[in-house]
Amino acid sequence: MKNLTDITDKVKKNLIWKSIFRRDYRNTVRDRAMAVFGNVFLHLHPVQVRESAVKLRFTWGMGGITFFAFIILVITGVVLMFYYHPSVDQAYTDIKDLEFQVPYGVILRNLHRWGAHFMVIVVMIHMFRVFMTGSYKAPRQFNWGIGVFLLVLTFLLSFTGYLTPWDQLGFWAITVGTNMGAATPLLGYQGPFSELLHITPYNDVRFALLGGAQVAGNALLRSYIWHCVAIPLVATILMLVHFWRVRKDGGISKPQK
């Protein structure tokens, strides 16, 4: 036992350890607080939280799970990007190679796909929970709105990712999805009032979404960029606002009567 403390002493009492952890943890109030605001990740939390925040039956952990799913998706997504070309000629074979040749390609793609489905499910349940506990009520009205936008962005993230393997499933799901855009009133060529603005299949909303009148190479590139760059960026910013407002609005809601 003496040896063990010797070893831990050796490990802890040097410049490198101290430069990383700064100070010892002794389970005092002060140390528990320091653990939180001394750490950039934990710093998202206040030093102390309402008891309801740690009650699983109250929050179901859904917000956190959504965020965790997002992190998994970002990590697997970035790795997948190394193996993928958003071009009609290569996209499909890239995915095939992921299955047949890339080390850990199968598990990587599966994690990304199922993680995405999981996130969509979880984000909906999160919204349901927030509604059921009335947590959108004052002072959290604005944050509910941010949440609604994040919900929409989650759908869009998944939707844009659907096309990337360039297989029949994705191709036709996107075709069906974007065809609805053609029916937008005023701005879609099949929508009402479109004649007023001289809208044709070549200048309507759908064309803007697809970069063409049909789902083809441009659509693949667009959906790739929306999926990998634009939407994650916006979602990240909105998430920061969301988390910030959770804290500023008083943390996880508690009964207010």
Partner 1 sequence: MNPFIEIITQPDNIAIVIMIFMVSFFMVWAFQQAFQNDRLIASGLPVEGENDGFVDTFKPLVRIELIIALVVMVGLTIWSIAVDAPLEEIANPTITPNPAKAPWYFLGLQELLVYFDPWLAGVVLPSLIVVGLLAIPYIDINPKGNGYYTFSERKYAIIIFSFGFFVLWLLLIVIGVFFRGPGWLWYWPWQEWDHARVVYEPTKDLTSIIGIDSRSIPGIIIGGIVVLSYLVGGMVAPYLYWKKNNPELLKQLGMVRYITITFLFVTMMAIPIKMILRLVFLVKYVWIIPWFGGINF
Partner 2 sequence: MANENKNNSSYRVYLFVFFSVLLLALSAWVVWDDEFGLRPWKKYQQEYKSLKHDKLEKDYKRAVVEFQRAGGHRKLADLEAKLKKAEDVFNSKETQEKYARVNKQLTDIHEQVVQNQKELRDLRGQFLESEYYFTKTQKQEYKAKMDGLQRKIDVNLLRGTELQKKEEPLKLSLSEFTSAKAAILAEIENMKNGLEEKKERIANNDKVPVDIKQIHIKDVDRADRCQSCHIGIDGKSQVSLKQPFTRHPASFVYLDHHDPSKFGCTFCHRGQGRATTSAEKAHGKVKHWDEPMLDGDMTQTSCLNCHGDIKGLRGAETIMKSTELIKKYGCYSCHKIPGYETVGDVGPVLTEVGTKVNYSWAVSWLLDPKKYFSTARMPKFFFTQDQAESIADYLFSMSGTTRHDADYTKATPNDKLVEQGKALWAQARCNLCHTTGGRGGNHIKVYAPDLSKVGSKVNKEWMFRWIKNPNAYFPGTKMPRFRFTDEEIRGLVEYIVKEYQDDEAEMKYVQPVEIKAASIKKGKELIQQYGCYGCHKLQGMEEMVQVAPSLKQQGVTFLRSNEMREKIGTELSSIGSKPVDMLDFGKLKKSIPNDRLSYIKQKLRDPRSYRLGLRMPDFRLAESEVNELASVLYGFTDANVPTRFLVPSRQELDRMAGVPSYKFTGDFAKVIADVKCTNCHAIRGIGADYAPDLSVAGSKLQESWIRSFLANPDVIRPLLQQMPKLGLSQGKPVAKVTMPRFNLGKQNVEDTNRSDVDVVINFFQQELVTSDIPKEVPKITTVDMTEQISKGKQLYDEKGCRACHQVGMDGGALGPNLSNVGNRLNSGFIFKHLENARKFKPDIVEPDYGFSERERIYLTNFLMTLKLTAK
Taking CB within 5 to 8 Å according to partner kind, which of partner 1, partner 2, none is near residue 90? partner 2
Min dist. Cβ of residue 117 to partner 1 (A): 4
Of 10-18, 77-85, 93-101, 229-237, the segment contacting partner 1 by CB under 8 A is 93-101
Taking CB within 5 to 8 Å according to partner kind, which of partner 1, partner 2, none is near residue 83? none
Q: Which residue's CB is nearer to partner 1, number 22 or number 57? A: 57
Q: Are the C-beta atoms of residues 124 and 65 closer than 8 Å to each other?
A: no
Site string for partner 2, 169-188 (x = CB under 8 A): --------------------
Site string for partner 1, 153-172 (x = CB under 8 A): --x--xx--x--xxxxxxxx
Residues 6+ apart with CB under 8 A from 81: 228
Q: Which residue's CB is nearer to partner 1, number 6 or number 89? A: 89
Looking up tokens 């606002």 gives 241
107 binds partner 2 (CB under 8 A): yes
Binding residue (CB under 8 A) for partner 1 from 7, 49, 229, 240: 49
Q: Give the rounded distance of the alpha carbon of 42 from its chain centre.
A: 19
49 binds partner 2 (CB under 8 A): no
Binding residue (CB under 8 A) for partner 1 from 17, 21, 114, 244: 114
Q: Choose among 227, 249, 254, 61: nearest CA to 156.
A: 227
Look up residue 249 and give its DSSP letter. Answer: T
Q: Choose among 17, 49, 15: nearest CA to 32.
A: 49
103 binds partner 1 (CB under 8 A): no
Q: Which residue's CB is nearer to partner 1, number 16 or number 196? A: 196
Amino acid at position 257, single letter: K
Taking CB within 5 to 8 Å according to partner kind, which of partner 2, partner 1, none is near residue 134? partner 1
Phi/psi for 2 (5° steps) reads -65, -40
3-state secondary structure 176-237: HHHHHHCCCCCCCCCCCCHHHHCCCCCCCHHHHHHCCCCCCHHHHHHHHHHHHHHHHHHHHH
Size of the residue set binding partner 2 (CB under 8 A) = 17
84 binds partner 1 (CB under 8 A): no
- How far is the C-alpha of 178 from the C-alpha of 173, rounded, in Å? 9
